[in-house]
Amino acid sequence: MELKGRTAVVTGGGSGIGRALALAFAREGMQVALADLDEAAMAEVAGAIRGQGSEALAVRTDVAELGSVQALADRVWAAFGRVHVLCNNAGVSTWGGIETATHRDWQWVLGVNLWGVIHGLEAFLPRMIAQKEPAHVVNTASMAGLIASQGLGVYNTSKYAVVGLSETLAKDLRPYGIGVSVLCPMGVSTRIRTSERNRPPGLRNPTAPAAEPVELIGRSLEPEAVAGMVLDAIRGNRLYVITHDEGLEPLRRRFQRMERAIVERKR
């Protein structure tokens, strides 16, 4: 898919992976719409994009609210008239055993990580289909959407759902010529470990979280390297963007455990 001259939308575009994606799209000559809760962070990214000679639009958006994402879509179509790449990327995490998760933890993490992706599709897909131009959806999941880790259960739940949604979406959108990629990184050097900064007051827990962020295995990649892999996947229309070679062994072991479950049942 040709990127130059086209339009990209990046949720969570103020920081980390979203910021790197937005800047990478701008370097390709795309117009970029940023959507984030953090207006100061978005202003910095929008300034950098304009400094590269590309157009940027920054819209304060809460992806957990359908109306907010619909308003974003209206702003983007009013400004650019077209959307070719939609990155449903905003995300947050909590840490700790499922048995200690509060109702608010579930609401917050699923609200951003899963409903945020669903809202993006609801608000953008009908018009992306109707415009009948090559297009691509990138949903940011995680290796935590393919492999379970103790202490990451709420996050695992949200990300497994995003992987499943994306796998089906790829089949559903094929007839329309719209590609789908699901981004599944292990560690990336971003501000994800301070996600609590983004938790709305109404969903805060009465006491501070007891659990420390889970230490991820494998290397920590720079967001720019991850963004480069996403652009390659868009161009090559590849579904899985599995950024870390270290992911192969845990994935293989997971499928071997499933294979054993079938073989041993038949004994």
Ligand X SMILES: NC(=O)c1ccc[n+]([C@@H]2O[C@H](COP(=O)([O-])OP(=O)(O)OC[C@H]3O[C@@H](n4cnc5c(N)ncnc54)[C@H](O)[C@@H]3O)[C@@H](O)[C@H]2O)c1
Q: How far is 77 from 71, CA to CA, in rounded Å?
A: 10
| Cβ atoms of 124 and 73 closer than 8 Å | yes
- Region for residue 134 given its phi and psi (left: phi exceeds 0; alpha: psi -120 to 50; beta: otherwise): beta
Residue from 6, 7, 10, 16 in contact with ligand X (CB under 6 A): 16
Nearby residues of 137 by Cβ (< 8 Å), 6 or more positions away: 85, 86, 87, 88, 121, 125, 128, 166, 169, 173, 178, 179, 180, 181
User: Interface with ligand X by CB under 6 A: which range of 2-10, 12-20, 228-236, 259-267?
Assistant: 12-20
Residue from 11, 31, 94, 156 in contact with ligand X (CB under 6 A): 11
User: Interface with ligand X by CB under 6 A: which range of 16-24, 126-134, 174-182, 248-256?
Assistant: 16-24
Residue 61 near ligand X by CB under 6 A? yes
User: Interface with ligand X by CB under 6 A: which range of 24-32, 165-173, 187-195, 257-265?
Assistant: 187-195
Residue 38 near ligand X by CB under 6 A? yes
Task: With CA atoms as reference, report the closest residue to 242 among 174, 147, 135.
Answer: 147
Catalytic: 155? yes
With respect to ligand X, which residue has the nearer C-beta, 72 or 135?
A: 72
In 81-199, which residue ranges form alpha helices assigned H by DSSP? 103-113, 115-130, 153-173
Residues that are catalytic: 155
Return residues touching ligand X (CB under 6 A).
Answer: 11-12, 14-18, 36-38, 41, 61-64, 89-92, 112, 140, 142, 185, 187-188, 190-192, 195, 198
